Structure 1
Amino acid sequence: MRSVFVLYFMLMMGMQTLSSAEPVIATDHEMFNSEDTVELNLFWFVSKPFIYKNEKGELTGIEYDILNEYKSYLANKYGVNLRLNWIEADSFGNIIDRIQAASNDNHVGVSAFSITPERLEKVDFSHPYLADFTVLVSSEGTPILKTLDEVNKTLSQMEAVTISGTTYEEFLFELKNQLQVDFNIHYINSDKNVLNEVSKADNRFGFIDLPIYLMLIKNGGNLTRQNFFTKRGNGYAFMFPKASKWKVRMDSFLMDPQSREMLAEITSNYIGEELFEFIENIYGGHNLGTSLLTKEKELQNEQLILKEQLLEKEKQQRIYLMIALVAMVILIGIIAFQYYRQQKIAETLLTQNKKVESQQRNIESKNEQLFNRNLQLTSLNEEKNSLVKILAHDLRSPINQIQGLVEVLSLGESTLDKESTETINQIKDAAKRVNNMISKILDFDALEEDRMKVIKEEINVENLVAELANNFKNQAENKKIELIYQVPVNTIIYSDHLYFTQILENLISNAIKFSEKETRVWVEVFDDQQAVVVKVVDEGPGLTEQDKRLIFNKYQKLSAKPTNGESSTGLGLSIVKKYAELLDITLTYQSEVDKGTTFILKIPKYKKEG
């Protein structure tokens, strides 16, 4: 008798369906009476994945998306602006009470409510949007119960987990009453998952929605479903006050063919398309238990395949790890060998460094001797220069007196014989040469001490460049260097003829001196609006970065050497720089190693007054 009773209960639990009236579909003119803006107060309580808040605190879920689609549906089809007011309730029971007591028909209960006879006595429900199955699950390792003795013995030693005010709770009470099974009930908040709480201990069980259970299996969960304790309801629906016109409006939306496609898409987004189609297909079937067992087996096989793939992947990773370890050992061996080799090299270098240091000390000692000798030579040179300047100054006065006396003697030239006249002229020429030599000595001294006097005058650049090109013709031909110049006719500047000539002479001389044979040197002159520009270009070795830092230093010899054994004092470019500054000429250069050097002079234009 006990076995027959259990079989009867299992059949009743597994095949139970609840009847509800067919939905009434309103026509378009019955839907809205000139209403263009309406609102719904939506009372909700957490029920994942139907309605809940995400990590950002935003509402989401199947029912949230459906109602937002309903809002778009009314706007597109009827031109109605629907405002949705989401109101969080204290519990599922609180929502039912508020909908039952509502004086306005625009109150809606939203929290995955199942349609039950008890609830239909208090409120109305929309057409269901999803099939409603509830299964009984227990902790991992719990045996599948087959007889009433097994049920009483096992469940009495276990703890049920449920959420207050839900059909899960109602089914537990029904189980207690019909099977006379005594067990404790552990209540949790609706934002928690019954499955998670059941899995935390080995003596728990509880009712849960079939989609949630199948999602657990699909994701690798391993709880035990009691095969015969399966409830088939009338579906999940939205809750309305009795005789609410919004029920009719919602039914019209939910039964629209396009809406059915939308509902399938929304639900699939949360539970997966495969599980959604399975639930829809078995809802009207008669072999519910067999279908569930088959699906569980299918999902478990998928998990086994996935685990095998993961194991294979881990195996491959272990192989790669072993290869990496072997490679690392080999690499460490190579590094150790290289380290040993480097140590030997370091010892050799240390010995050589000691020798080099000894040689360096000898060189430093010699350098110090040379430095001291240079100091002595510099001191002697300064004394010599000082003596030369003193002599030059002291000689200028008697030379001037000699020139004066010669001029006096020249006044009586008509009374002198030819021999005396020649002697006086020789004395005059000799005195003039000595005076010019003294002037040059003092000019060099003035250049060193920035006491040069500038005498500006008109200079025909064309004539000057042609003259210089002719002067350097033999020097260039000796090295087979082509000396080219391009100067516009009648190019006039206003500057010191002597100093400007010396600038060009130094630049052209250097260009020829440091250029290889069979190359070109050219002088280019052109008008640049604000100035006359003179370029002296060569195809020599160019300047290194070190050369560029030292180029205008006095007595500074650069890395490039004269190519035909010419002498170089290192004074040329420093004198050019001083003369250019003296004449307000801008001096720049462009150079790259092995690509030659270009010196550029920019002379301010001369505008003749009047």
Structure 2
Amino acid sequence: MHRHLISLLTFYCLSLSLLASPLKHDAYDTLDLYWFTSRPFVYENEAGEMEGIEPDMLRSFQRYLEKEENISVTLNWVKANDFSHILEIIKGTDDPDAIGVSALSITDERKEYASFVDPYLPDITVLISSKGTPIVRSFEELYEMMRSMDAVTIRDTKYEMLLNNLRKQIGLNFDIIYIESEQNVIEGVASRTDCFGFIDLPVYLLQVESGGEVVRQNFFTVKGQGYSYMMPVNNNWKDHFNRFLVHVDYRDEISDIISGYLGEELYGFIDDLYRGEALGTSILTKEKEMQLELLKNVNFRLEQEQTVRKILIVSTSIAVLFLVAIGYLYYRNQKATNLLLGQKGQIEVQQQDIQQKNEQLMNRNAQLVALNEEKNNLVRILAHDIRSPLSQIIMVTDILNQKIDDNLPETDVKLLNQVTASAERINKMVTKILDVDGLEENRVKVMNERVDIRDVMKDVAQRYRPIAAKKNIDLSVEFCDDHYMIRTDHLLLLLVLENLVSNAVKFSDQDNSVELRAQCEYDSVLFKVSDKGPGFSENDKKKLFNRFQKLTAKPTAGETSTGLGLSIVKKYVQDLGGKVWVESEFGKGSTFFVKLSA
């Protein structure tokens, strides 16, 4: 209702200005419409006919001119070479009857060389990224994510302009992949990994409604000046078109055209959103509503399939009973040989019934497995998300314990110790949940990322130097290069090195040393973790990388050991496509080697 009221006010204001200087035209004229494919705004169907929001609006405009202004026009559709070609035509033509048609956004730059009719649809652009990329929560996270990603766009579009503005704003010179104008940016991002780009909000929401899997980022949602038709400065049709847009007999027809392609609910949402302020929150809410509706539709189809299946089962049962009855009558009227044939038929029917019941049980079991998987996913997500802050709490409390002043009240000291103990206990529980679940269920997902091994080794050393310092153990790190990058899973590599360094510190005596080194080659990197601990016996080496194995060596300061660490290392190194082995002599320390491809 409020949309119609606003349109009505616009109509009266525009009508007063236009009545003051009416334009005159020949009774017959031809509009040269320069277009390029931009679904759902303008495209050509299989029969070669023009379809989309803008062709339907122009046909409505054609009827308006004939009925209201006594002007007959012919629509001459001219396909441009690409999107930028439309801009070049409008910019360079002297033809007052030329019109650019392709969901053109009004921009200040384009206003310098062209004229636009009043916008017929709000223009909102969102930033999307490939399936599987995380939703970032800060500019720092966005910067880190985009460092290893490429942008996708089309030349001479507002999408390219927004990417160039983004480069300047975040100070990152990312690479840009240009696709053909007939392609869609959202399809270009969806078909690639580690990519991002800008796309119109209606196109994105239509993709969400159909079950698409790109990720929308909450940053850089841009509100433009609206979608419009583009004309030369000396055009003949701007005022006519503006009168058409607000005409009382055609406003509802225009709304119906747009709603027919976007859906009435989606069109209303975009129209309301354009006048609001909290764009990100409103879009996020709409996404969740559409995803929930999609899930409801899937569940509804599943329920329909189950109903059909039940009907088939009942029908089959009735048919079986009918066959049994016929078989019984047949049995009474036939000889002994016919009796045997009847029994055989009954057995076959029973086998079919058993097979159907087995299929039902398998389907129900699959549903239970899916529900259990959802539960496990939630547990793993929660466990993983609290692991990092727990590690930080433990490190901070350790530092505070080392700096405790004698004047600190005993009550505060006890509270600090309780915080440390509780954090360490929870951290062990989280580690066990993540490690045991990943090993038992074999659900570890390996990411393919660009990883700086220097950053990973620094992180490991920073985490374990306070622990090593308690035993007066010197934890040294030796890098092979300032920034040696490999493609691997950052988290799995971190967990592998953490486990090896943790074991080296755990099983080393006081006043000793542990070394973490990296040897970089042309196509691989070799990590070495060395200690001067008790080493391994030949019997230990045979079961070294098995789960829940208690070996000869014991932690030197009463630390706990689950027997999972080295089995986790072996599993994760295999997932990363690498090799792990140990060189050790009993009583003379050990060196673990991890070799990964670069």
- Aligned pairs for 1:44-59 (under 5 A) are 44-59=35-50
Identify which of 117, 121, 131 aligns with 1:126: 117
- Structure 1, 324-333 or 190-199: larger mean CA deviation: 324-333
Identify which of 87, 96, 104 aligns with 1:105: 96
Alignment-derived partner of residue 153 in structure 1:
144
Alpha-carbon offset, residue 346 of structure 1:
8.7
Alpha-carbon offset, residue 47 of structure 1:
0.6
Alignment-derived partner of residue 72 in structure 1:
63
Identify which of 320, 324, 340 aligns with 2:311: 320
CA distance in 1, matches of 2:171, 2:45: 41
CA distance in 1, matches of 2:20, 2:171: 54
CA distance in 2, matches of 1:194, 1:321: 46
Alignment-derived partner of residue 34 in structure 2:
43
Alignment-derived partner of residue 199 in structure 1:
190
AA matched with 2:250: S
Change (3 A) 1:347 1:94: closer
2:201 aligned with 1:210, yes or no? Answer: yes
CA distance in 1, matches of 2:81, 2:330: 73
What value does the CA root-mean-square deviation take over the aligned residues? 2.8
Contact 1:24 1:248 in 2 (8 A): no
Alpha-carbon offset, residue 172 of structure 1:
1.8
SS of the equivalent of 1:258 reads: coil
2:300 aligned with 1:306, yes or no? Answer: no
Alpha-carbon offset, residue 329 of structure 1:
5.2
SS of the equivalent of 1:136 reads: strand
- Aligned pairs for 1:231-270 (under 5 A) are 231-270=222-261
2:146 aligned with 1:144, yes or no? Answer: no
Alpha-carbon offset, residue 34 of structure 1:
5.8
- Aligned pairs for 1:432-451 (under 5 A) are none
Contact 1:91 1:165 in 2 (8 A): no
Deviations for 1:508-563, whole angstroms, at most 9, x for unmatched residues? Answer: xxxxxxxxxxxxxxxxxxxxxxxxxxxxxxxxxxxxxxxxxxxxxxxxxxxxxxxx
- Aligned pairs for 1:403-414 (under 5 A) are none
Q: TM-score, normalised by structure 2?
A: 0.50
CA distance in 1, matches of 2:152, 2:248: 39
CA distance in 2, matches of 1:338, 1:201: 67
CA distance in 1, matches of 2:274, 2:249: 21
Alpha-carbon offset, residue 115 of structure 1:
0.5
Alpha-carbon offset, residue 85 of structure 1:
1.1
Unaligned runs of 5+ in 2: 1-12, 340-598
CA distance in 2, matches of 1:347, 1:136: 75
AA matched with 1:192: Q
Unaligned runs of 5+ in 1: 1-21, 349-610
Alignment-derived partner of residue 60 in structure 1:
51
Deviations for 1:182-214, whole angstroms, at most 9, x for unmatched residues? Answer: 433333333333333333344232211111211
Contact 2:105 2:225 in 1 (8 A): yes
Q: TM-score, normalised by structure 1?
A: 0.49
Contact 2:331 2:338 in 1 (8 A): no
- Aligned pairs for 1:546-561 (under 5 A) are none
Alpha-carbon offset, residue 277 of structure 1:
0.8
CA distance in 1, matches of 2:333, 2:150: 73
CA distance in 1, matches of 2:38, 2:220: 22
Contact 2:94 2:234 in 1 (8 A): no
Alpha-carbon offset, residue 331 of structure 1:
5.9
AA matched with 2:279: L
Identify which of 282, 289, 302 aligns with 1:291: 282
Alpha-carbon offset, residue 338 of structure 1:
7.5
- Aligned pairs for 1:316-355 (under 5 A) are 316-327=307-318, 330=321, 344=335
Alignment-derived partner of residue 172 in structure 1:
163
AA matched with 2:272: N
- Percent of aligned positions with the same letter in both sequences? 41
CA distance in 2, matches of 1:136, 1:47: 18
CA distance in 2, matches of 1:75, 1:29: 22
Alignment-derived partner of residue 549 in structure 2:
none
The total of aligned residue pairs comes to 327
Change (3 A) 1:29 1:72: farther
Alpha-carbon offset, residue 273 of structure 1:
0.7
CA distance in 2, matches of 1:312, 1:247: 53
CA distance in 2, matches of 1:135, 1:343: 78
SS of the equivalent of 1:283 reads: helix
CA distance in 2, matches of 1:335, 1:198: 63
Deviations for 1:300-330, whole angstroms, at most 9, x for unmatched residues? Answer: 2222222222232233334334434545655
2:79 aligned with 1:88, yes or no? Answer: yes
CA distance in 2, matches of 1:30, 1:218: 45
CA distance in 2, matches of 1:165, 1:23: 32
CA distance in 2, matches of 1:89, 1:339: 78
Structure whose alpha-carbon radius of gyration is higher: 1
Change (3 A) 1:203 1:326: farther
Alpha-carbon offset, residue 149 of structure 1:
2.8
Change (3 A) 1:333 1:145: same
Alignment-derived partner of residue 178 in structure 2:
187
Contact 1:137 1:223 in 2 (8 A): yes
AA matched with 2:77: W
Alpha-carbon offset, residue 340 of structure 1:
7.0
Contact 1:26 1:248 in 2 (8 A): no
SS of the equivalent of 2:335 reads: helix
